Amino acid sequence: MTLDEALLDAHARDDRAQLVALYTKAADQAATTDATCFFLTQAYVFALETGDPATPVLFNRLKDYGRV
């Protein structure tokens, strides 16, 4: 399953913990700063909503890019 397919599957199952993980992975693989921040934002929002322990890490990564 590709990352895109995995993301679609996680959305379909409304698996928010998995969405945090997959969007973080997408951010790590992105080629540009904007793409990275787009995926980090997606991961951060689902983490924020669910109280995921990754929330402060994701926030700080966005903050380092000046994107919060």
Instruction: State which residue, 1 or 14, has the beta carbon closest to other proteins.
Output: 14
Instruction: State which residue, 7 or 62, has the beta carbon closest to other proteins.
Output: 62
Residue 2 CB, shortest distance to other proteins, in Å, is 21
CA 16 to chain centre: 10
* Nearest Cα residue to 52 out of 26, 7, 18, 9: 18
Rounded distance between C-alpha atoms, residue 66 and residue 35, angstroms: 14
**Which residue ranges make up the site for other proteins (CB under 8 A)?**
33-38, 40-42, 44-45, 47-52, 55, 62, 65, 67-68
